[in-house]
A and B are shown apart, each in its own frame.
Chain A
Amino acid sequence: MKSMTKCFYGSLVISCLAIYSSGVFAWTSEDKSWVVNGFLENSTHDRHRVGISRSRTRGQLEWSKSIGSVGIFKGVSMNGVLRASYDAAYDLNDDDFGDDAGSAVALQQVGVPAGVLPGPFAGGVPTAFVPWGGGFPLDGGVIGGPTNPNTGLAILGGDLHGGNDGGAILAYPVRPCDEDSRGCLDGYMDADKQELAAPEFNDRADVIREAYLDATLPLQNGDEINFRIGRQQVVWGRTDLFRVLDVVNPVDFSAQNIYEELEDARIPMGIFNMEYRAGAGDIFQDLNFQFLWKFEQARPHTLGQGGSTYSILQAGNFFRAMKTCWDVGCTVGNFAFGVAATDFGPGQIGIRRANTPDWEIDETDVGMRLEGVYEGVGFSANALYYNSHLPSLRGGITSTDPFAPPGTTGVFPHALAFDIDFPRIFLLGGSADFYLDEIKSAFRVELAWTTGEEFANTLRPRLFSESDVVRYVIGWDRPTFIPFLNKSRAFLISGQLFGQHILDHELESGPLGKVGIPDWEDNWIATLLIQGFYQNDTVQPRIITAYDVRAQAAAVAPQVDWLISNNWRLVVGANFKFGTGAREFDDNRSALPYAGLAALAGGAVGGSAGLGGFEPLGRFRSGPIGMASAEDEVQISLRYRF
């Protein structure tokens, strides 16, 4: 906390000096056609037992240029947002997130007495924590050497379960990719320190956050067609925090997991956005048709790479562990027969590569939305054909058989060898909002059906399967007076219940446990916001809670937002997690992908028997709240708006 205070005040002083020395003010041109404003902000988070997890100083410049009528178009304007930031957490806390992060690791080996197992384990396996490269050798002895040293590593999920649960234990490199290239996924999760700290300066030119042209084509019948062309955010849906229909833009979860404002977290994309505004007619109070074509090369969510300050589901950590296995080999705790730490060589298990989408016309995203108001009820019907923003681990790639003579390769069913792909998804959905005066409440509902999504599935030879998914949400908003707390201003009480149903869910009982899709067939997340307003709305305390029903994990985020003046805003908050963190699921250790292994085990080549642990698939049961349960934080941010 002390370091946080020091850091915050340091950043504050720098920010203030920058503001005053540069005389930063909003600017409007004399003819008022140009308007420029923006903000400068420092946001600093202190994570329990970790220290500074974010000290991001961010500057944003928002500009617009009104042009007026041009030919047959009216209301022509250019608009844009430039953003640059630097997260000093990678410098201030480089022991955890920067060049000096990580350490040597020892991986659990639960061991077994002599005479229990066959073959090389007949003499027993000692109970121990073995160093990186100290497992049962299938790697030819490359692990632990100069190209793959036991430094800069961390136990996957170690902050949640300690890495001593008897399940599969993995380790991942945590340093930025310029410091340690192990496990970096080219074109997907390969950020160096500068890119982690200043993510806008990347090869996608994210410093140009938004830049688009607006124009309206008036039609003779009074209707009009609006165009917005360029890099932009397209917001579908009516929800907060989680998304059902709001899936046009990918999201940067590396900024602050699921807790960043979506406005700041959405990744703007180059989109041709056309809306035909029919307006009111005989039946509808308002009717509009929207067509979208995302012409910028598709990009997935930014999940946060292994070792970054935030990594939703710790997926980036897992990927980095697996990519390390594929590239340079790795030691996996409790792997062989579930008892022996095992050293895998390159190309045996892991993630080979991430096949990020190329730009091809048939790989671009298209969407349509019909939206209107009928009898006071707002509604929309939505369709989107798009590249998944989430990765799918597809097995069934060519890999090396560790139980065959060196150099024996093939496609081995149930082998832990993957490529990351981003499947094409078709979404069909709708939404509505309405008000019920009897209970003085506004309601929001959304429903979406998708086809093409892929899930990890240990029942399948390629360890994934496709499923249709239905997601839905009902949101409830009610301004409510709580007179003993504030007699003149109502509190906003807003609740949401999100649901997900995996239609082609597969889950079976194996001899050693459940086998199949780790994600819950049905799950729900409930959120509740209570927000108050004091001092002419300049002081706004609020509390946000979220509860993952099946994961039994909760997050509570109290916050006070103080608008010091029209320019200065201070936000002090916290984010605490409760409930179950890590959860277990089949980890495929009990599969027998290779003939040699099957012979050794006295069984037949085949899939998993259900032996499981926390890693790696338990994360899909824990969900984003449960997987971040060790990330309690206090947060402070100061923004100068101009």
Chain B
Amino acid sequence: MKKIARTLGVSLLAFTAGNAFAVSDEVIQQSFYPYNNWTPTFDGYEPGVVVNQSNVEKYKEILDEALYRFISDGWIEIKTAPTTDFPLTSDYVEATRKYSDAVTLNANGTLNGYVAGRAYPQEPDANDPDAGQKLVWNYQYGFNSGDSETIEPFWWTYRDMKSGKVERVLKFSWHFMNFNHRVTFEPKPEFADNPGEIYRGIYSRVLEPFDLKDTQLLIHRYQDDTKRDDGWLYLGFQRRVRRLATGQITDSFLGSDLMIEDFEGYNGRVSDYNWEYAGTRNLLLPFYYHNEMELSSDPADDPDGYRFVDVEGKGNCFPKVTYQLRKTYTLIGTPKDPNHPIGKRVINLDSQTMTMASLVTYDKKGDLWKWFPIGKAHSDHHHERNKGMGVALDDFAVLIDVQAMHCTTLQFKSIITDDVNQPRLFSVQNLRKSAR
């Protein structure tokens, strides 16, 4: 009955939104195609310039606070390139056009009437007290991984930033799939049998090293944002599935520099933070064409000949890619939990893709703690299978713990596909089935 009511509701919303409340083309153009008739600029900045210790002061305003400090300290110099368009798939754009006007915010900050696409394509209004909340929903229901994505191989390398020593390499297979709000892959907009009202499934399996091999992680995120995720871990050495206490998301994940809350930029409930829109600015972000970068020799045995983005700079903690000047919305997230270890997250949300392209995290004392840029690759200039997918692909990320002088680099082979990403993969039983 609940499902029928929901389906009916979605249909009605689709009908009404498709007719009476369609969002204007101007809003759509501005939100999804900002670079059609405009290119961000900054006085004295020319694409192609190398920003380094000697000239960093000139570009301070187009660098996020952490990157500015790193360049100032001589940890890295960055190459720049012209701003390029990273259009999302037209399916997502059309869903926005169709449904977004019907979306409202509930008193508790959750969404009402959301079906698919970008919830709030309008330019954020500094006078709107809910502007930050709306932006974070744009991220939460963004198209970061498309409807469905497989990342394999996915290497996490733990590095001592002082010495550059590689301490540990974890190799994963990682899968993301939206159970609903789907726009690209069938079924659209959702899977029929989803009594738990799961929004998103995350499944990962450790391929190496030996001590963690066959460890599997499953996370269910629910439509109801106030509901805590459910998580299960299959431990190879115990041969059983263990229920996870998913509330402790500030814990380091498998000893890396990432908290579980850091995945994809922010992996918690929207309702766990207060969100504030702190303005729009143009920043240099690691957006690039993967195939045009100087790539690593890893993974050497990739059957498609795919190679990761390489590393450089202090401790080999930085991506060897070009940065481009892009329009971003600055979002400040402050944890509601007074015991949360983070003071605030300063998130620079890429306005076109609504991905968290760079995050600067401060501790309770207000000191810089972590920097987490997520390199985005254009899907037409990446693996052959991603052509035409219209996703700004996660391609490289690093979490630098400035205080510990330690980093974890993440190198991706992201493929937008639903080949294996079906609900069955995101079930507890699959953990057992896949186990040895």
Contact = CB atoms under 8 A, between A and B. Distances in A.
B243 A440 contact: no
Nearest to A232: B436
B385 interface: no
Given A237-B240, A566-B209, A567-B210, A279 B423 contact: yes
Contact of A238 (B191, B240, B424): B240
B198 A285 contact: yes
Contacts of A437: 228, 246-247
B239 A233 contact: yes
A213 interface: no
Interface stretch (B111-119, B251-259, B304-312): B251-259
A489 B251 contact: yes
B245 A477 contact: yes
Nearest to B160: A536
A371 interface: yes
A291 to B, nearest CB: 14
A434 B427 contact: no
B168 A490 contact: no
B188 interface: no
B428 interface: yes
Contact of A566 (B208, B231, B239, B241): B208
B230 to A, nearest CB: 5
Interface in A375-402: 375-376, 378
A214 to B, nearest CB: 9
A144 B429 CA distance: 61
A538 B167 CA distance: 9
A433 B255 contact: no
A275 B243 contact: no
Contact of B244 (A280, A442, A567): A442
Contacts of A589: none
A79 interface: yes
Contacts of A284: 195
A166 to B, nearest CB: 45
Interface in A522-579: 533, 535-538, 563, 566-567, 569
A131 B232 CA distance: 60
A279 B424 contact: yes
Interface residues of B, number: 49
Nearest to A223: B424
B425 to A, nearest CB: 10
A563 B211 contact: yes
A46 to B, nearest CB: 24
Contacts of B429: 275, 277, 279, 286, 288, 371
B194 to A, nearest CB: 6
Interface string B396-410: 000000001000000
A203 interface: no
A400 B362 CA distance: 84
A143 B252 CA distance: 66
B239 A280 contact: no
A444 interface: yes
A479 interface: yes
Interface in B215-265: 220, 227-228, 230-232, 237-248, 250-252, 254-256
Interface string A452-493: 000000000000000000000000011111000001111000
A337 interface: no
A285 B220 CA distance: 11
B239 A277 contact: no
Contact of A442 (B243, B251, B428): B243
Interface in B240-295: 240-248, 250-252, 254-256
A282 B193 contact: yes
Contacts of A375: 196
A537 B255 contact: yes
Contacts, number: 150
A168 to B, nearest CB: 41
A235 B240 contact: yes
Nearest to A277: B429
Given A277-B424, A533-B252, A444 B243 contact: yes
Contacts of B193: 279-282
Q: Tell me which of B210, B231, B251, B254 has the highest count of chain A C-beta atoms within 10 A of its own C-beta.
A: B210
A378 B211 contact: no
A226 interface: yes
A25 to B, nearest CB: 11
A355 B404 CA distance: 63
A519 B196 CA distance: 44
A444 B233 CA distance: 14
A442 B245 contact: yes
B246 A435 contact: yes
Q: Tell me which of B208, B230, B237, B424 has the highest count of chain A C-beta atoms within 10 A of its own C-beta.
A: B230
A533 B168 CA distance: 15
B209 A536 contact: no
B38 to A, nearest CB: 42
B210 A279 contact: no
A275 B433 contact: yes
Contacts of B252: 488-490, 533, 537
Contacts of A237: 240
A212 to B, nearest CB: 9
Nearest to B237: A263
B33 interface: no
A441 B209 CA distance: 29
Given A238-B240, A488-B252, A536 B427 contact: no
Contacts of A535: 255
A282 B191 CA distance: 12
Contacts of B251: 479, 481, 489-490
Interface of B: 3, 158, 167-169, 191, 193-196, 198, 208-211, 213, 220, 227-228, 230-232, 237-248, 250-252, 254-256, 341, 404, 423-424, 427-429, 433, 436
When A and B form their complex, which 8 residue pairs have the shortest distance between CB atoms, in order from nearest? A537-B255, A536-B255, A440-B247, A641-B210, A285-B196, A433-B243, A479-B248, A566-B209
20 contacts: A26-B210, A275-B429, A280-B194, A280-B195, A280-B427, A281-B195, A285-B194, A285-B195, A286-B427, A288-B429, A435-B231, A435-B244, A435-B247, A441-B245, A443-B243, A477-B244, A480-B248, A533-B252, A538-B168, A566-B210
Interface of A: 26, 37, 39, 62, 64, 79, 224, 226, 233, 235, 237-238, 240, 246, 261-263, 275, 277, 279-286, 288, 371, 373, 375-376, 378, 433-435, 437, 440-444, 477-481, 487-490, 533, 535-538, 563, 566-567, 569, 641-642
